Amino acid sequence: MPHVVLLPYMEIHTGISLQTYTTMRLGGKARFMAEAHSPEDMMELCERASGQQLPIFILGGGSNTIARDEGFNGLVIRNRIMGWQVIEDTPSYTAIKIGGGENWDETVRKTVELRLSGIEALSAIPGTVGAAPVQNIGAYGQEVSEAIEAVDAYHIPSQQFVTLSNDDCGFSYRHSIFRGSAAHQYAIVAVTIRLSKNPPEPPFYTAIENYFEEHHVSLYSPQIIRDAVVAIRADKLPDPQERPNTGSFFKNAIIDDWLYQDIMKEFPDMPAYDMPNNQHKVPTGWLIEQVGLKGKLLHGMRIHDKNALVLINESATSYADLAAARQEIIQAVRDMFRIGIEQEPLEI
């Protein structure tokens, strides 16, 4: 692999294919790529890139990132900052600071082994701890924002380390300032989560309730919830190492009440969940099913036959193929329901 030495303990590689580092296996090359193994590494890399006016992209596991065909004409920093520190332990909760480069599912596993509750439904989500706050990952009734106490990050414009509170992060459904108003301004080096020592209590998310009923489960613990989620996800979601994908490709749709009421007249069986501000969340997978695209192959992208939110790269060779498939799906849903659905993965 071609490279140039940046510092005695750090290397910057050049001309690296982003297909290798993103689970959709598409896209061009990164002009430069390096790994940060400590907050100091992150600071040094960001400062040197900024000093040369190079754009910066922080990459975790690549499971929620789509690379474009033209590649990235800047520095991609792969977050490999490890660490696990219990910073507060009380009779009711435990607070843990975790390095941004730690594997997310391994983190969930460790907290479950400690009998801590709060992120067990987020099991089997690929990626890193540092990436989790960016899109406020969520699944089966939990969102990571509910557990996050603070985010430690390097603020690239001011060249300073900062600690952001939960409120500072501007969390909402699959969103935060890290992919919104402050996109590309922060490099997350650690996340502090606060987890409960109390056992989880029903009611649970519908899919989990159904799993428990089917398997005659009536005693609940973080481990039992994790086991259920892992089994459910294994059945519904293809392994990105075997079939290239980014998990849920589209966000679920959030629509205003007037549109919800109007659509329900024609589609009274449309599933929906009440949201704040008189809005409703509609499963986008259901919308895609209704337009007849579930299981279809579009431009080399297969809409998963078990979960229509998932696009699998079967034979696409370019980001252009993915973009064409994405547009067909978006247009079909808009034509039938007047709902604009949005891509979930970030783009580099």
Give residue-wise pLDDT tens across range 91-122. Answer: 999 999 999 999 999 999 999 999 999 999 99
Q: What is the CA radius of gyration of the chain?
A: 21
pLDDT reported for residue 11: 85
Residue 123: is its pLDDT beyond 50? Answer: yes
Mean pLDDT of 43-68: 95
E strand or H helix at 208, and its extent?
helix 206-214
Is 344 noted as a catalytic residue in this protein?
yes
Cα 50 from Cα 220, distance rounded (Å) = 50
Residue 32: is its pLDDT beyond 80? Answer: yes
In the block, tokens 């481990």 appear at 223
- From 193, 49, 58, select the one nearest 131 (Cα to Cα): 58
Residue among 31, 80, 248, 326 flagged as catalytic: 248
pLDDT in tens, 254-294: 999 999 999 999 999 999 999 999 999 999 999 999 999 99
Predicted model pTM: 0.91
Cα 135 from Cα 122, distance rounded (Å) = 13
Residue 8: is its pLDDT beyond 70? Answer: no
Is 146 noted as a catalytic residue in this protein?
no
Residue 190: is its pLDDT beyond 50? Answer: yes
- From 310, 252, 261, 250, select the one nearest 283 (Cα to Cα): 252
Q: Classify residue 166 as exposed, middle or buried by CB count within 10 Å of its CB (0-12, 13-18, 19+).
A: middle
Residue 131: pLDDT band with limits 50, 70, 90: very high
Residue among 25, 31, 80, 174 flagged as catalytic: 174
Q: How far, CA to CA in Å, does 171 sit from each of 77, 313, 327?
A: 24, 30, 27
Average pLDDT, the chain: 95
pLDDT reported for residue 333: 98
Is 248 noted as a catalytic residue in this protein?
yes
Sorted by sequence, the CB contacts under 8 Å of residue 78 that are 6+ apart come out as 21, 33, 34, 35, 36, 59, 60, 101
pLDDT reported for residue 9: 57
